[in-house]
Amino acid sequence: MMHSGPAPVQCGPKLVHGERRARPISSADLLSSLPTSITKRFTRDTEVFGQGGSADYLYEVRTGAVRSYTLLEDGRRQIGSFFFPGDVFGIEAGITHQFSTDAIVDSSVALLKWPAGPMAAHDLQFVYKLQIITAEQLRHAQEHSVLLGCMNARERMATFLLDMGRRYGLAGDLIELIMSRQDIADYLGLTIETVSRRLSEMAESETIELTSTRWVRLRNLRTLMELTQ
C-alpha cells in the first residue's frame, strides 16, 4: 500500500475521474487590496511566527519563500506547505498558531492585523475571500495527505517536482528548488537520503536533469506524470 505497487512499468496512482490534483494556492489578492497591511523583511531561516504564538496577523509572501511546519519534541518535523509570492498563510481556527513558519530565503512578507474581536470583520468581501483561500489550503492539505498516505518515494518526488514546476517554474522545463533537500524530505515524509537517491535515479533514467543541486530540468514530463496523475 505504502511501499506500493508492481515495481516494473507501474503506471502511477491516478485519480478516478481523471482529475488533476495539485495547483497553486492562489491569494485572490487578499492583503494587497487592503490599506492596513505593512511589509516586513525576514532573513533566511528566521521565524515569521511560531507554534503557540497568538494569531494576530494574516501574512502574504511578497518575495522569497516560506515554509510552515510542525515540530515534534524529538526533532521530527513535518512541513505542511511551502509558500511563494502571492500565497497567503497564517490562517488559524483558534487564537494561537498551530504551526511554525520561517523564511527559506531572505523574504519580504505583508502583514495584516486581524480586525479586533470576533465578527469585527464586517467586510463581507474580506471574509468571503478569506473563506476561498482557507478552502484552497484545505484542499492542498487533503491532497498532501494522499501523497503521504498512499504514495511511495518515487511517486512523491515526481508529484513534488511537477507541483513545484507549476508554482515556482522558470523557463518552462527548468525549475529552481529553492529549499534544501532536508526541507523536501520533511515535506514528503522521507529522509534526505531517499530524496537524494530518487532524484539521482530520475536523472539516471533521463526523466530529469540535475543542472545543479538547486536546479532541475524536467526532461520527460510524460514519465513524471505517469507517476502522479
Non-local CB neighbours of 187 within 8 Å, separated by 6+ positions = 67, 79, 82, 160, 179
Q: Which is nearer to DNA, 1 or 171 (CB)?
A: 1
Residue 47: CB minimum distance to a second copy, A:
12
Residue 183: CB minimum distance to a second copy, A:
13
Question: Which residues contact DNA (rule: CB under 7 A)?
Answer: 1-5, 7, 152-154, 180-182, 189-197, 199-200, 210, 212-214
Window of 34-42, 105-113, 133-141, 172-180 that interacts with a second copy by CB under 8 A:
133-141
C-alpha to C-alpha distances, 178 to 13, 79, 104, 106, 170, nearest whole angstrom:
27, 15, 8, 11, 12
Q: How far apart, in whole angstroms, are the C-alpha atoms of residue 80 and residue 101?
A: 10
* Residue 14 sits in the site that holds a second copy (CB under 8 A): yes
Helix (H) or strand (E) holding 166: helix 153-168
Cβ-in-10-Å burial (0-12, 13-18, 19+) of 195 comes to buried
Q: Which is nearer to DNA, 2 or 135 (CB)?
A: 2
Which residues of this chain interact with a second copy, rule CB under 8 A? Answer: 1-2, 4-5, 11, 13-17, 19, 51-52, 70-74, 76-78, 80, 91-94, 98-99, 119, 121-122, 124-125, 127-128, 130-132, 134-139, 141-146, 148-150, 185-186, 188-191
